[in-house]
């Protein structure tokens, strides 16, 4: 293998699309980021605009690729959702994001055997997914429903546009509510509720399988070389968790962003707590349990915008000293950050954000600190379930944007009452996509090996006993008030 071999990693997030060229040793040569529009939210988005955004960031990295570098493979990681396309791969209507709940109530009411369906899909409750959306469209837009050729995850839609091939990975398939997650095959009985069959869903692959090659038309649009192999990829939360924790059973990772995604690697589906989602893992023979919490970091961004403070990074830079000076409990101000409903572990799609205890003495700094505390409380609900049998000295690995902030990492340790290991790789999903591409290209034998050779260092934060005791009391008060 030549030393100038590189892979391309793509992270399709709710707020932005990123692409990077990465060397075999994990060094990021260059990257590009494209923000998604304000109406491209967690519930719905424009798939054509997503494709345009991907093309834009890919052109930026390919145009600056070092002379002599040889691109070997591309892998994408992306948020959960549903893109419906016709025979010509054109999107039909607005695509559904991870918080799209269309059809959930109807499917929950009409599914012939809900208990069996939940068992097969590895879900503790009926949530959004392709099957509920298809059921809703069958009743509300039958003309569109009839025109559907493929039902795809967002990153699978991009793979289709890049290669002309419809494909998905076994983890993304689990989020449709149409896959038997233990057997990792489409189940016709589940899909029938949405009025479609397995022929409308792409073949399921391992995340590191090559599923196609960049077409000439896509190469002209993106700057990628024609014929470049493209891997199946995987969901952003799972890919990010794999990047920082590898495949060690028992590891718990918090990929923090618009929502916090909590993931624990397990060796058997029987180890899943009842409130957690079960998914096939990216490494064969392993599983994960956990799930997305609902809005956490997204609620902080919402309050920053509402207060006219710009974006979160700017607001926290400007108000950082004031926010850090706010005492535990934010002087009586509390909130629920779940603006689009709760997911793991509460599973209440109808829940909405709340703010209570607001007084004249509260400032913008109090509101921002209350949002950070509320996000930590939501994460603790999930961690307490995933780590119920673990000793309090077993850490949670934190990655994503908040892992860059020592203040946020310390807050998480104090609220969780256990160590937090903040990964130095805040862009874990992008790093994980690069690992998938390295394995798919044959530059690494498997995902565990690839991750072990590039495991990012962590910074350790221990709970401060007096502060942690105070937050334990505040957390229980918050639970009672929210409920």
Domain co-membership, 164 together with 280: no
Domain co-membership, 130 together with 246: no
Q: Give the helix/strand (H/E) hosting 423.
A: strand 420-423
Domain co-membership, 250 together with 216: no
Check whether 68 has a pLDDT greater than 90.
no
Region for 226 from its dihedrals, namely left if φ exceeds 0, alpha if ψ lies in -120 to 50, beta otherwise? beta
What is residue 362's predicted lDDT score, i.e. its pLDDT?
97
Q: Examine the fold and report which residue of 195, 210, 232 is the final residue of a domain before the chain moves on.
A: 232
Check whether 153 has a pLDDT greater than 50.
yes
Average pLDDT over residues 428-444: 96
Q: What tens digit of pLDDT does each residue of 226-237 get? A: 999 999 999 998
Average pLDDT over residues 77-86: 96
What is residue 257's predicted lDDT score, i.e. its pLDDT?
87
Torsion angle, alpha carbons of 371, 377, 379, 380, to 10: 160
Query: 428, 244 in Cβ contact below 8 A?
Result: yes
Of all residues in the chain, the percent with pLDDT exceeding 90 is 83
Domain co-membership, 221 together with 245: no
Domain co-membership, 284 together with 151: no
CATH number for the domain that contains residue 276:
3.30.420.40
Query: 302, 145 in Cβ contact below 8 A?
Result: no
Both tokens assigned to 65: 């690729």
For the chain, how are helix, strand and coil distributed in percent, rounded to 5?
40, 25, 35
Number of compact structural domains in the chain? 2
Q: What tens digit of pLDDT does each residue of 202-253 get? A: 999 999 999 999 999 999 999 999 999 999 999 998 999 999 988 888 889 9
Domain co-membership, 91 together with 162: yes
- 3-state SS assignment for residue 180: strand
Q: Examine the fold and report which residue of 207, 232, 257 is the final residue of a domain before the chain moves on.
A: 232
Domain membership of residue 189 as a residue range: 5-232
Domain co-membership, 198 together with 330: no
CA 379 to CA 259: how far, in whole Å? 10
Helix/strand/coil (H, E, C) string of 261-290?
EEEEEECCHHHCCCCCEEEECCCCCCEEEE
Domain co-membership, 277 together with 222: no
Domain co-membership, 427 together with 347: yes
Both tokens assigned to 196: 């479609």
Domain co-membership, 152 together with 201: yes
What is residue 10's predicted lDDT score, i.e. its pLDDT?
98
Domain co-membership, 197 together with 272: no
Average pLDDT over residues 297-326: 94
Q: Examine the fold and report which residue of 183, 210, 232 is the final residue of a domain before the chain moves on.
A: 232
Domain co-membership, 168 together with 202: yes
CB burial of residue 2 (10 Å; 0-12, 13-18, 19+)? exposed
CA–CA–CA angle 430, 179, 268 (5° rounding):
75
Check whether 3 has a pLDDT greater than 80.
no
What is residue 2's predicted lDDT score, i.e. its pLDDT?
47
CA 83 to CA 151: how far, in whole Å? 6
Predicted structure pTM score: 0.87
Q: Residue 46 carries which DSSP code?
A: -
Q: Is the peptide bond before 345 cis (omega within 30 degrees of 0)?
A: yes
DSSP E strands in 50-143: the ranges are: 70-78, 83-85, 95-96
The overall average pLDDT reported for the chain is 94
Q: Provide the β-strand partners of residue 9.
A: 20, 75
């Amino acid at each position: 293998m030549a030393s100038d071999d590189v892979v391309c990693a793509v992270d399709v997030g709710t707020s932005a699309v990123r692409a990077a060229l990465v060397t075999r040793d994990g060094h990021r040569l260059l990257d590009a980021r494209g923000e998604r529009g304000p109406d491209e939210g967690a519930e719905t988005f424009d798939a054509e605009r997503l494709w345009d955004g991907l093309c834009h960031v890919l052109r930026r990295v390919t145009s600056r690729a070092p002379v002599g570098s040889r691109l070997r493979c591309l892998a994408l990681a992306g948020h959960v959702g549903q893109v419906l396309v016709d025979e010509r791969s054109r999107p039909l209507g607005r695509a559904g994001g991870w918080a799209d709940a269309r059809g959930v109530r109807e499917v929950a009411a009409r599914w012939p055997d809900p208990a069996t369906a939940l068992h097969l899909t590895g879900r503790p409750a009926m949530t959004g997914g392709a099957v509920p959306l298809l059921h809703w469209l069958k009743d509300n837009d039958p003309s569109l429903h009839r025109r559907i050729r493929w039902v795809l995850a967002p990153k699978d839609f991009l793979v289709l546009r890049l290669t002309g091939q419809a494909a998905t990975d076994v983890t993304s398939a689990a989020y449709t509510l149409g896959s038997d997650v233990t057997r990792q095959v489409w189940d016709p009985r589940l899909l029938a509720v949405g009025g479609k069959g397995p022929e409308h869903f792409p073949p399921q692959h391992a995340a590191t399988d090559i599923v196609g090659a960049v077409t000439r038309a896509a190469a002209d649009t993106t700057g990628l070389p024609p014929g470049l192999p493209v891997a199946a990829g995987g969901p952003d939360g799972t890919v990010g968790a794999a990047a920082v924790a590898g495949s060690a059973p028992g590891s718990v990772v918090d990929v923090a962003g618009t929502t916090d995604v909590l993931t624990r690697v397990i060796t058997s589906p029987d180890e899943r707590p009842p409130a957690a989602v079960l998914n096939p893992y990216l490494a064969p023979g392993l599983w994960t349990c956990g799930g997305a919490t609902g809005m956490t970091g997204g609620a902080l961004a919402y309050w920053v915008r509402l207060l006219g403070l710009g974006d979160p990074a700017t607001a926290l830079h400007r108000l950082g000293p004031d926010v850090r000076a706010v005492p535990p409990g934010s002087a009586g101000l509390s909130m629920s950050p779940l603006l689009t409903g709760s997911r793991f572990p509460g599973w209440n799609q109808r829940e909405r954000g709340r703010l209570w205890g607001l007084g004249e003495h509260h400032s913008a700094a109090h509101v921002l600190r209350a949002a950070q505390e509320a996000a930590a409380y939501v994460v603790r609900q999930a961690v307490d379930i995933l780590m119920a049998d673990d000793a309090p000295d077993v850490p949670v690995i934190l990655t994503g944007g908040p892992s860059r902030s020592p203040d946020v990492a310390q807050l998480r340790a104090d609220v969780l009452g256990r160590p937090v290991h903040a990964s130095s790789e805040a862009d874990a999903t992008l790093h994980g996509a690069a690992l998938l591409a390295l394995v798919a290209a044959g530059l690494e034998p498997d995902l565990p090996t690839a991750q072990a050779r590039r495991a990012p260092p962590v910074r350790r934060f221990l709970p401060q006993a007096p502060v942690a005791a105070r937050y334990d009391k505040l957390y229980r008060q918050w639970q009672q008030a929210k409920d």
